[in-house]
Structure formats: C-alpha cells, structure tokens
Amino acid sequence: MNQIIMWIMAVGAVLGGVDRIAGNRFGFGKRFEEGFMLLGPTALSMSGIICLTPLLSRFLRFALVPIWNFFGLDAGLLAGILAIDMGGYQLAGELSASQEMVRYAGLVIAATLGCTITFTIPVGMGMLKSGDRLFFSRGMLIGTGTLPVTMIVGGLLSGLSFLQIVLQSLPVLLFCFLLMFGIWRFPEQTVRAFTVFADVIRLLTTIGLIAGAFCYMTGFSLLPDLAPLEDAMAVVSSIGIVLLGSLPTAELLQRVLKKPLSFIGRKTGMNDSSAAGLLMGIVSPVPAITMMEKMDERGKIVNAAFLVSAASTIAAHMGFTFGTDPDFVVPLLVAKLAGGIAAVCAALFFTKKSAYSKTRK
C-alpha cells in the first residue's frame, strides 16, 4: 500500500512538472512549485530543533524521565507535545523504549496533539476575527474530545495492545482534558499560553539553527551533543520531494471531489466553503482557517474539529513520514483520517442544523 501511495505521489509530481513546462495551463504546475517553495519554511521551522534533539533528550532524561519511569510510563510520550515536523519524532526516538512507542508518540501523537498545540491553535486564533474565534474554539474543543479515536487506531496500528494504549496515554488524556477545560472556560488565556509555548519552540529552533550552521561552517560546536545540520536538512529534503507530488495530487482530489462534498455539505447543513475547507485542511490548516470567514457557523465548528486530527494529512505529515518511517505512512493516514471523521461526526451531532446554518452562501 505504501508503494501504491508513493506511485500516486510520483504521478502527481509528473503531472505538476509537465503542467509547469506547459505554462501552468491547468494549475497543477503552480502546486508543483509551491511544494518546492515549502522547503525553505519547512527547514526554518524544523531543522534547528532536530539539531537540538540530542541535547533536549539529555535534559529530559535528567529532569523528567525518572519521574515518568517511576509511574511505568514510556518517556517518549513527552515528545508528543511537539509537532511531528518540529522535532517530535526525533525526540521520541531518543526517549522511547520501543519502536512501537516511537511511532505512537513521535508520529501519531505528535501529528495530532503536538501539531494542534504548537501550530493550529496559536495560528488559528491569531488569524481569525474575534467573531469567528468562538466557533473555532468550540471546534477545537470537540476535536480534542474525539482525539482518543486517533490514539486508539494509531496505537493499535503501531503494534501496541489496547491496554498499553490506555495506560501509556493517561498523561495525554489528562492533558487533553485540561486543554478542553481551558478552551471552554478560559479561551483567551489558553491561547496566550500556547502562543508563548510556540514562541519558545521557535526560539529553540533558531538557536539550534544558529549552532548547526556555525558548526557546519567552522567545525566548532557551540553546544554539546549537537546533531549535524546536514542530517536535519536531509529530512527536510525528503519532505520537499514528496510535496512536489502531494500538492498537485491534492489539487486533483479537490477538483474531483468538489461536487460530492458540496452535496454532502448541503445534506449536513453547511455551505460550499465549509465543505471545501475539509479538503483544504488535509493539505494544510492555514488555507482552511483562511476560508473560515466564508463558512457558515456550523461549518466553522466542523472544520476546526476536523483539523485537530486530520490537519496536513496528505502533505507535510505524509511527506515527513515517507522520509523517516515509510512503512508507517498508511497507518498514520488511517489514524488521522479516522480521528478527523469522528470529529466531524461529533461536531455535526453537537451543533443543530437550524442554529448553525444562518450564513449559508
């Protein structure tokens, strides 16, 4: 199955490249270019933190791992608070006791909860108008509540037993509960807290990039246990190669599925922008968030809930997994989409069609 997906991405790269040669007549060439242009932002956001991974692992082993081990928990779960492409996977690899837990913590948890708290929440609340933040917060609340679906599916596909998933995930479930409570009772303060957290991660990434670049150019290491910058860039490059094909493929999917999704949107009380946002979200949360001003109220909640588990499924996260653990690409896709679908169903259940469809377009 992994090879089938890789062939599909390869065909997407050919489609995008040929269209670029032909002058971008069908819009696939533009997506091809966008995939390559994402190399810069991707490298800036993750290469530095990858360089710092051994140092962060050393700190956590001293400060938190003994406490974690005392309760019989795998320390790799500590890495789940970082996004999959912001060092979460590498840190899980340093801390986890088994490959199964590396996949569960560094790919499943980091690609959902980690991405949500380090990127989706601070970026979404920063981009949206005040009137839309309430609906976005409600969606985040529902999406976090259905995150256990992703965790169970992803954990089982990682090779863990159901009992292992439940026991090892207790801290994550507690954190999800606190996150839901914070979004519900103290939304502004919660967003500020995660914005500060995201700023700290950005600071660490920049420090790691500075130290990595200095070491590469001079051979002198400013920090102990620094991973080579060229190793981090190899991971980034593998993501960029997959994006060359995944973005044109996503563009094709959006066109093919536009009418079916519009039909589903009408049946569920959402406008066309709301239905289209779901397709945009599995590529990147940013365009989906940008589109929220055109969505009806119910669609805003549904899309926000969907992003918690399913954001970047067929773009950055798939590209990252292809470059680090190709055999886990399909399980990660299944887990993220299962959680996303569960979130959509829950959001539709908790929002009344008549109450949240007043701004249909």
pLDDT score for 353: 60
What's the pLDDT band for 212 if we cut at 50, 70, 90? very high
Per-residue pLDDT averaged across 293-301, rounded? Answer: 91
Reported as a pLDDT band with limits 50, 70 and 90, residue 196 is confident
Q: What angle do CA 13, 329, 35 make, to 5 degrees?
A: 30
Does the pLDDT at position 359 exceed 70?
no
Residue 10: C-alpha distances to residues 57, 162, 241, 244, 247 (Å): 36, 36, 9, 8, 11
Give tens-digit pLDDT for 85-135. 778 898 899 899 899 999 999 999 999 998 988 888 877 877 788 888 889
Cα-based distances in Å from 218 to 208, 221, 254: 15, 8, 47
Averaged over 28-42, what is the pLDDT? Answer: 87
Helix axes 316-324, 229-256, angle to 10 degrees: 130
Residue 360: pLDDT over 50: no
Q: What is the mean pLDDT of residues 71-97?
A: 87
Half-sphere exposure of 53 (CA within 13 A, CB side): 25
Contact 132, 292 (CB under 8 A): yes
State the pTM of this model: 0.82
Work out the pLDDT band at 354, boundaries 50, 70, 90.
Answer: very low
Task: Return all residues near 133 (Cβ < 8 A) that are at least 6 apart.
Answer: 125, 187
* Alpha-carbon gap, residue 115 to 339, rounded angstroms: 14
Total length of the chain? 361
Token code pair at residue 207: 């420090």
User: Where does the pLDDT of residue 149 fall: very low under 50, low under 70, confident under 90, or very high at 90 and above?
Assistant: very high
Residue 31 half-sphere exposure toward CB, CA atoms < 13 A = 28
Q: What six digits make up the tokens of 10?
A: 């390869």
Give the span between the Cα atoms of 94 and 88, in whole angstroms.
10
Write out the two tokens for 328.
């886990």
The rounded distance, in Å, linking the Cα atoms of 161 and 158 is 9
Q: What gap in Å lies between CA 49 and CA 203, rounded to an integer?
A: 9
Encoding tokens for residue 244? Answer: 């060359």
Residues 191-220 have a mean pLDDT of: 89
- Region 219-231: mean pLDDT is 91
Q: How many angstroms separate the CA atoms of 308 and 199, rounded? A: 20
**26 vs 255, which has greater pLDDT?**
26
Q: What is the mean pLDDT of the chain?
A: 87
* Nearby residues of 240 by Cβ (< 8 Å), 6 or more positions away: 35, 36, 38, 39, 42, 319
Lookup: tokens for 80: 């789940």
Q: What gap in Å lies between CA 208 and CA 215, rounded to an integer?
A: 10
Backbone angles phi, psi at 283, to 5 degrees: -95, -50
Q: Is the pLDDT score of 245 beyond 50?
A: yes
pLDDT tens, position by position, 179-192 = 888 878 887 788 78
High-pLDDT (> 90) share of the chain, %: 38
Residue 58, Cα to own-chain centre: how many angstroms? 26
pLDDT at 207 > cutoff 90: yes
